Structure 1
Amino acid sequence: MRRFTQGFYGYAVALFVCLAGVGLFMLVAPQSREEHIPRLDYSITVANFGHEVPYQVWAPQKDPSGWVPNSNRIAKGEGGAQVLYLGYATAARQHAMFAQSDEKPAAEFANRMTGIAKPAGNQQVGDVTWERRFREDKKQRSLVRVLPDVTLVITGTADWPELTELAGLLQQRDKG
């Protein structure tokens, strides 16, 4: 028995027993091969935002097909203005974010959210025209719509059709 506990042979046997135990554990431990993106309901955040701001809040009437809402928050913007953020993993598993605020000047809010001030054309969504912006270094696409009481920004690594889909689902919510 002494030869199993001493020397190189004993070390090799002990190592084999340990590796066999780890292998057995890996064999019986549950493993998931499926992607998991946490889904966060934003309805309460949108309702709370509506109680804090003096204008009608915009939000998607429904989530785009295959998209997962995975973040939402209300934050203070410049000058104390409230900003609503809704984040998504798109069907193509890119990132998209919808932000809105009555921060003034509206151009500064849009520039900060998009990371660029230069328009790259327009995008027609239904009967509404959105301004397109593209930040080359981050491959970030953005749609901007400035209204009299609020600025809407949709931005992220999602492609133009995906951003346009989200823009088409936005509608004003009742103040409740």
Structure 2
Amino acid sequence: MRGRQTVRDMILSMLAVGAVGAGAYVFIPHDTKGDRILPVDYTSSLASARRAAPYPLLGPADLPAGWKATSVEYKKDPAGHANWHLGFETPTRQYAAIEQSDAARVDVLKNAVPGGQADGAAKLGAQDWQRLQGDRYRALTVQTGSATTVVTGTATYEELAVLAQSLK
């Protein structure tokens, strides 16, 4: 008789745990259709970073509809180099970012576009930008004063060019 009580108790315990789990699933909100990427407002971070940066820090002005800022950061690395990052989701749901730093150009490119190899050039406005194709990301890059500016991501070169041309 003792063996049956143990099996019965175990089954009742499993049913109780299952009921709690099912209740949690039903009553905890979850959205499988919605957008999981939360936009960020980068305007105050951009203004603060511009005051702190030792180089002319660039940010987008007048991006077309559909561009959503997703990440922003300004920090100094252990060597004292100022690093600016502003990430976006493009209208085609790809990733694009502005990376700007006064670290050595080769280091900036190595970090922003791992495995990056020259892939031609692009004339955007009055500036000549170098194109790079990396292992995962592609990029447009230009030297702006003492800083290296990289517009990088999984977006097409055309979308990256839109972001690059918006920089002021």
Global fold match (TM > 0.5): yes
Is 1:90 the counterpart of 2:87 in the alignment? no
The list of structure 1 runs, each at least 4 consecutive aligned residues, that deviate by more than 3 angstroms after superposition, is 18-33
Query: Contact 1:94/1:158 (CA < 8 Å) preserved in 2?
Result: yes
Q: Distance in 2 between matches of 1:25 and 1:45?
A: 38
Query: Contact 2:67/2:90 (CA < 8 Å) preserved in 1?
Result: yes
Structure 2: give runs of 5+ residues left out of the alignment: 1-13
Structure 1: give runs of 5+ residues left out of the alignment: 1-14, 172-176
TM-score normalised by L of structure 2: 0.77
Query: Contact 2:56/2:145 (CA < 8 Å) preserved in 1?
Result: no
Summarize the alignment of residues 35-54 of structure 1 with structure 2, pairs less than 5 Å apart.
35-54=35-54
Summarize the alignment of residues 55-74 of structure 1 with structure 2, pairs less than 5 Å apart.
55-74=55-74
Deviation at 1:80, TM superposition (A): 1.0
Q: Decide whether aligned partners of structure 1 residues 32 and 150 sit closer, same or farther in structure 2, where only a CA change above 3 A counts.
A: same
Specify the code of the residue in structure 2 equivalent to 1:119.
Answer: A
Deviation at 1:116, TM superposition (A): 3.4
Q: Decide whether aligned partners of structure 1 residues 26 and 133 sit closer, same or farther in structure 2, where only a CA change above 3 A counts.
A: same
TM-score normalised by L of structure 1: 0.74
Specify the code of the residue in structure 2 equivalent to 1:109.
Answer: V
Structure 1 SS opposite 2:108: helix
Deviation at 1:161, TM superposition (A): 0.9
Aligned-pair identity in percent equals: 27
Q: Distance in 2 between matches of 1:39 and 1:85?
A: 15
Query: Alignment RMSD, CA only?
Result: 3.1
Bigger CA radius of gyration? 1
Residue by residue, what CA displacement relative to the aligned partner does 1:112-144 show, whole Å, maximum 9, x if unpaired? 221235311101212221100001xx3311111
Q: Distance in 2 between matches of 1:127 and 1:117?
A: 24
Partner of 1:167: 164
